[in-house]
């Protein structure tokens, strides 16, 4: 209702993962806000009303995993993975 909700998602990757793993959620948010404010200098970047930081590195099932289209692959690979199985099993998430 009212003003449309705004959502911002960011992924930390590469060498930054090693730095972020020892930071608190508040510290990570602070770095992200400083970056946004440095990039968008002509606009006021408000504090978020809420935030959520995942720690995939600590998840025994994900273990920092994310999907990507490999060499020789195509976006159609995602369509194949997302297809329902037997009309009863449906996948949701990043696919």
| pLDDT score recorded for residue 48 | 93
In whole angstroms, what is the distance from residue 83 CA to residue 95 CA? Answer: 10
Residue 93 belongs to a domain? no
Q: What confidence score (pLDDT) does residue 34 get?
A: 96
Contact call for residues 69 and 77 (beta carbons, < 8 A): yes
**Is residue 65 assigned to a domain?**
yes
Residue owning tokens 């297809």: 83
Place of tokens 């972020």: 20
pLDDT confidence tier of residue 64, bands split at 50, 70 and 90: low
Q: What number of H helices and E strands is found in the chain? A: 3, 0
Domain membership of residue 1 (yes or no) is: no
Residue pLDDT, tens place only, 77-90 = 888 888 888 888 88
Q: Quick one: pLDDT at residue 27?
A: 97
Best CA proximity match to 28, nearest among 55, 1, 3, 49: 55
* 2 part of a folded domain: no
Residue-wise pLDDT for 3-60, tens only, equals 667 788 888 888 898 899 999 999 999 999 999 999 999 989 999 999 999 888 788 8
Q: How many domains does the chain have?
A: 1
- What residues make up the domain containing 51? 16-82
Domain membership of residue 23 (yes or no) is yes
Contact 65, 93 (CB under 8 A): no
Does residue 92 fall inside a structural domain? Answer: no
Say if 87 falls within a structural domain. no
């Amino acid at each position: 209702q009212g003003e449309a909700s705004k959502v911002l998602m960011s992924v930390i990757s590469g060498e930054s993962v090693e730095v972020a793993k020892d930071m608190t959620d508040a510290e990570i948010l602070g770095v992200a806000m400083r970056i946004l404010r440095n990039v968008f200098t002509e606009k006021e970047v408000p504090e978020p009303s809420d935030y959520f930081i995942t720690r995939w590195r600590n998840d025994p099932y994900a273990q920092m995993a994310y999907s990507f289209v490999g060499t020789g692959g195509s976006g159609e690979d995602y369509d194949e993975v997302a297809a329902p199985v037997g009309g009863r099993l449906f996948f949701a998430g990043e696919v």
